Amino acid sequence: MKWTYSERWNKLLERPITPLTDKKARARHSNGQLYTAVPASDGNRSPDLRIEIRWETEYAGVIFMDQFGRDELRYTFSVINGLLFLDGARRYEYGDSEVRGGYADSTYMESYDFTPDGVAHRTVESGDDSSTESREIDVTLNWEAIPQFGAYDSLVRRDRDQPFTA
């Protein structure tokens, strides 16, 4: 997959903030500075995912967006012992709303926070209601190799949504 890069992503305008050349993005990757990657497109539609990487804080995030440019599914990773660990997964729903991008408010949010020792904390927010529960799970699949610059295929796997179907 070919990628385009920027310093950050503007959710309200649904476009990159300060586009970066491959060379400048590679330097940010090496130096640990924040950068965002989105799949290259023909410009006729918004991307359906973006990656945020900031190695200086040991963080990587993968955000899948719906047809209205809204965050639909977000995975967050932390670097632990030289590997990435999926420590958070969050799914958003917007009901019948067609409000675009960062202007939209979700009607439902389900999130999981994982620990390396196998505890999953689940939180559901819907309207004014909120609930939280915890359980032990197998987190073997939560570990991921740190990707080389531009080689994000394994990182952007959407099939990590097992907690939402369990």
- Over its C-alpha atoms, the chain yields an Rg (Å, rounded) of 16
Whether the per-residue pLDDT at 23 is higher than 70: the answer is yes
Q: List beta partners, residue 91.
A: 73, 110
CB within 8 Å of 128: residues ≥ 6 apart: none
pLDDT: is 36 or 44 the higher one? 36
Q: What is the pLDDT of residue 79?
A: 97
What are the tens digits of pLDDT across the range 117-145? 999 999 999 988 888 888 898 999 999 99
Three-class secondary structure of residue 11 per DSSP: coil
Whether the per-residue pLDDT at 89 is higher than 60: the answer is yes
CA distance 109 to 74: 11
What mean pLDDT value characterizes the chain? 92
pLDDT: is 45 or 163 the higher one? 45
Q: What is the pLDDT of residue 166?
A: 47
CA distance 86 to 140: 10
